[in-house]
């Protein structure tokens, strides 16, 4: 099995149909396939172990993804927002790689690692020149590993999550009907290429033959302009993007979105106010909430358009509450809630979410975390209601998810504990309309010291970490709540911060 099959089928069924638009350039399915075959030649000649992308979204993401698949080499898109030290470590772990994108950074950070580096434009030209004239080149049909994605690495070094061709094939065949899109359909892809949603969007769009309209870097203005210009019919956004799009419309920007039939969202918690607002603002649009993880090849549960409308207008509190759920598991996925001992829990009881299915990899380069029966512990907490709707209640291990970015409380607490006037500190998620979740901190001043001002603490975190780690809320307390085992009771800290 090999995911290149998707592109081959699209190119077979409609070679001259436009499959992708990026920066005004249009690529047909036949051109994309030919470019991917050219990429295979470059990959083979470079003798690399991985194909990496260090760049914003562009046609190069599609070409590199399928070129790597043809060559039987894992495709490994990297987060270009990572600081130099973190990126250098990852570039070391995938060496030798064929890297497409930021030539300057790769050269500066990993010059001695044997990487083959192409700037985006050079790669796009080279793959077209390298494309074989004879169709009868032997391509890898076995598959093996298709994708290697580094997790955010909140507590330890980032883990390399692995998706096999068989996982992705099961996911796409189970959720998408081949060639089901109309010729005018277009999907606006604005999630970064190193996010699982950015990869599954490419695969789903190509298999359904829905034209991909790529937005290399998200801004609400650019999103609205492109959606109108390309008469976009489908889009996937993270909640933060939707919030900023609506804000921009509120400020008076005009955009004709009458063709926008479907908006799917996921990647973080959707504030209830925001989804109600969006449903009012786009009455003709179908909304789908998708829940999934990198390790599950994207979506494992979804709340569909009809369920959104029903919940939005219902007077039954139970039905209304479903807007805060992530819907029901896919028919091809099994899902259970389990307690800390791994025993299945009945509906209504919160616990850890476990999933099983052919699309679920649950595998890292170092080891698989599937249990003996093939179940994957997601480390997400949640419960199922009596009708089977899944409600999430955060990460099992308290990671703060701000606008789709995972933030470990530990890294913030470590910085705070370095302050001479602080004796103790806790960072937890606080609700945020803009980001879904944001950082809140509770700090305990040292005896004989005055508490530092909130501004001073924000500045400290901004300087030491990143702006996304800067707390929205700062609370000074006499002591933090601990249980008898000395474990910090984060839930109680959250309660303190929300009152």
Partner 1 sequence: MKPGTKLKSAVCSTEVMVIRSAGGQIECGGAPMAETKPAEAGALSPEHSNGTLMGKRYVDADNKYELLCVKPGKGSLSVDGVPLSVKDAKPLPASD
Which of residues 39 and 176 has its CB atom nearest to partner 1 in the complex? 176
Does 96 bind partner 1 (CB under 8 A)? Our answer is no
Answer yes or no whether residue 166 interacts with partner 1 by CB under 8 A.
yes
Taking the least distance from each CB to partner 1, the nearer of 261 and 276 is 261
Nearer to partner 1 by Cβ, of 109 and 172: the residue is 172
Q: Is 259 exposed, middle or buried (0-12, 13-18, 19+ CB in 10 A)?
A: middle
Instruction: With both helix axes pointing from N to C terminus, report the angle between 196-208 and 4-13 in degrees, rounded to the nearest 10.
Output: 30
Per rule CB under 8 A, is residue 259 in the interface with partner 1? no
Note whether 350 binds partner 1 by CB under 8 A.
no
- Which lies closer to partner 1 via its Cβ, residue 96 or residue 286? 286
Question: At closest approach, how far in Å is the CB of 296 from partner 1?
Answer: 12
Number of residues engaging partner 1 in binding (CB under 8 A): 43
Residue carrying structure tokens 């501004």: 455
Among positions 168, 290, 337, 392, the unique one binding partner 1 when judged by CB under 8 A: 290
First to last CA, the chain: 54
3-state SS class at 208: helix
Closer Cβ to partner 1, 2 or 124, answer by number: 2
Smallest separation (angstroms) from partner 1 to the CB of 90: 24
Region binding partner 1 by CB under 8 A among candidate stretches 295-303, 452-460, 474-482, 491-499: 295-303
Residue 117 pairs in a beta bridge with 99
- Select from 451, 450, 471, 449 the least CA-distant residue to 460: 471
179 binding partner 1? (CB under 8 A): yes
Stretch that binds partner 1, among 3-11, 373-381, 467-475, 485-493 (CB under 8 A): 3-11
Residue 291: alpha-carbon gap to chain centroid: 10
CB of 197 or CB of 390, closer to partner 1: 197
Could you say which residues in the range 360-379 bind partner 1, by CB under 8 A? none
Q: Which stretch binds partner 1 (CB under 8 A): 5-13, 15-23, 417-425, 463-471?
A: 5-13
**288 sits near partner 1 (criterion: CB under 8 A):** yes
Output DSSP code: residue 116.
E
Nearer to partner 1, 2 or 58 (CB): 2
**Given the complex with partner 1, which of 36 and 187 has the nearer CB atom?**
187
State the Cα–Cα distance between residues 456 and 67, nearest whole angstrom.
49
Is residue 197 near partner 1 by the rule CB under 8 A?
yes
Among 283, 317, 331, 448, binds partner 1 (CB under 8 A): 331
**Minimum CB distance to partner 1, residue 21 (Å):** 18
319 CB neighbour count, 10 Å cutoff: 16
Closer to partner 1 by CB, 124 or 288: give it.
288
User: Least Å distance between CB 383 and partner 1?
Assistant: 21
CB 411 within 8 A of CB 154: yes
Q: Helix 165-175 and helix 196-208: axis angle, to 10°?
A: 60
Structure tokens at 101: 């994108």
Select the residue interacting with partner 1 from 45, 141, 253, 489 (CB under 8 A). 141
Q: Given candidates 177, 341, 386, 479, which one binds partner 1 under the rule CB under 8 A?
A: 177
Nearer to partner 1 among residue 266 and residue 357 (C-beta): 266
The values of phi and psi at residue 355, to 5°, are -130, 155
Of residues 11 through 70, those in contact with partner 1 by CB under 8 A are: 12-13
The yes or no reply on residue 262 touching partner 1 (CB under 8 A) is: yes
The reply to whether 328 sits near partner 1 by the rule CB under 8 A is: no
For residue 51, what are the β-bridge partners?
Answer: 75, 98
* Cβ contacts of 271 within 8 Å, gap of 6 or more: 239, 243, 431, 432, 433, 436
What CA–CA distance (Å, rounded) separates 342 from 322? 26
What DSSP state is assigned to residue 352? E
Please give the Cα distance from 425 to 476 (Å, whole number): 9
> The tokens of 263 are what?
């908006």
Q: 173 burial class (0-12, 13-18, 19+ CB within 10 angstroms)?
A: middle
SS3 state at 489: coil
Stretch of residues binding partner 1 (CB under 8 A), selected from 123-131, 167-175, 249-257, 349-357? 167-175
Give the residue from 141, 137, 59, 55 showing the smallest Cα distance to 98: 55
Closest to 52 in 3D by CA, of 88, 68, 76: 76
Asked whether 217 and 56 are in contact (CB, 8 A), the reply is: yes
Residue identified by tokens 């996921």 is 266
Q: Does 9 bind partner 1 (CB under 8 A)?
A: yes
Q: How far is the CB of 191 from partner 1 (least distance, A)?
A: 9
Q: Cα–Cα distance between 4 and 139 in angstroms, integer?
A: 10
Shortest distance, position 302 Cβ to partner 1, whole Å:
5
Which residues bind to partner 1, rule: CB under 8 A?
Answer: 1-2, 5, 8-9, 12-13, 141-143, 165-166, 173-180, 187, 197, 200-201, 204, 208, 210, 234, 236, 262, 264, 266, 286, 288, 290, 292, 298-299, 302, 304-305, 330-331
């Amino acid at each position: 099995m090999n995911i290149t099959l998707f592109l081959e089928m699209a190119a077979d069924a409609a070679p001259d149909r436009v499959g992708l638009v990026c920066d005004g350039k249009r690529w047909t399915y036949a051109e994309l396939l030919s470019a991917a075959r050219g990429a295979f030649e470059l990959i083979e000649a470079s003798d690399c172990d991985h194909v990496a992308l260090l760049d914003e979204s562009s046609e190069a993401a599609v070409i590199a993804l399928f070129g790597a698949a043809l060559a039987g080499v894992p495709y490994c898109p990297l987060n270009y927002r990572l600081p130099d030290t973190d990126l250098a470590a990852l570039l070391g772990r995938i060496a030798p790689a064929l890297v497409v994108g930021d030539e300057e950074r790769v050269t500066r950070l990993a010059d001695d690692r044997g990487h083959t580096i192409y700037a985006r434009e050079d790669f796009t030209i080279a793959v077209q020149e390298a494309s074989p004239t004879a169709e009868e080149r032997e391509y890898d049909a076995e598959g093996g590993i298709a994708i290697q994605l580094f997790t955010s690495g909140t507590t330890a070094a980032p883990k390399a999550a692995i998706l096999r061709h068989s996982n992705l094939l099961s996911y796409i065949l189970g959720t998408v009907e081949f060639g089901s899109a109309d010729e005018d359909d277009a999907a606006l892809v604005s999630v970064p290429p190193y996010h699982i949603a950015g990869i599954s969007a490419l695969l789903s769009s190509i298999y359904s033959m829905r034209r991909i309209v790529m937005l290399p870097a998200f801004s609400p203005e650019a999103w609205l302009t492109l959606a109108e210009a390309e008469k976009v019919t489908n889009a996937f956004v993270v909640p933060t993007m939707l919030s900023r799009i609506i804000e921009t419309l509120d400020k008076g920007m005009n955009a004709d979105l009458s063709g926008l039939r479907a908006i799917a969202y996921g990647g973080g918690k959707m504030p209830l106010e925001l989804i109600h607002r969006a449903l009012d603002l786009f009455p003709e649009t179908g909304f789908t909430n998708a829940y999934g993880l990198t390790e599950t090849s994207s979506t494992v549960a979804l709340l569909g358009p009809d369920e959104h409308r029903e919940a939005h207008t219902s007077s039954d509190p139970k039905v209304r509450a479903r807007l805060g759920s992530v819907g029901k598991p896919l028919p091809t996925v099994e899902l259970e809630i389990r307690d800390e001992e791994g025993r299945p829990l009945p509906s209504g009881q919160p616990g850890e979410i476990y999933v099983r299915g052919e699309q679920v990899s649950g595998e890292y380069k170092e080891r698989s975390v599937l249990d003996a029966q093939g179940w994957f512990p997601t480390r997400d907490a949640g419960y199922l209601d009596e009708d089977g709707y899944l409600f999430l209640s955060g990460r099992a291990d308290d990671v703060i998810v701000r606008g789709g970015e995972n933030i470990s409380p530990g890294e913030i607490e470590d910085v705070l504990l370095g302050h001479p006037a602080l004796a103790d500190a806790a960072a937890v998620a606080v609700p945020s309309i803009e980001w879904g979740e944001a950082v809140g901190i509770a700090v305990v001043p040292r005896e004989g010291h005055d508490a530092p001002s909130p501004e001073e603490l924000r500045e400290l975190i901004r300087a030491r970490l990143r702006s996304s780690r800067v707390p929205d809320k700062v609370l000074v307390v006499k002591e933090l709540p601990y249980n008898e085992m000395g474990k910090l009771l984060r839930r109680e800290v959250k309660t303190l911060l929300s009152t």
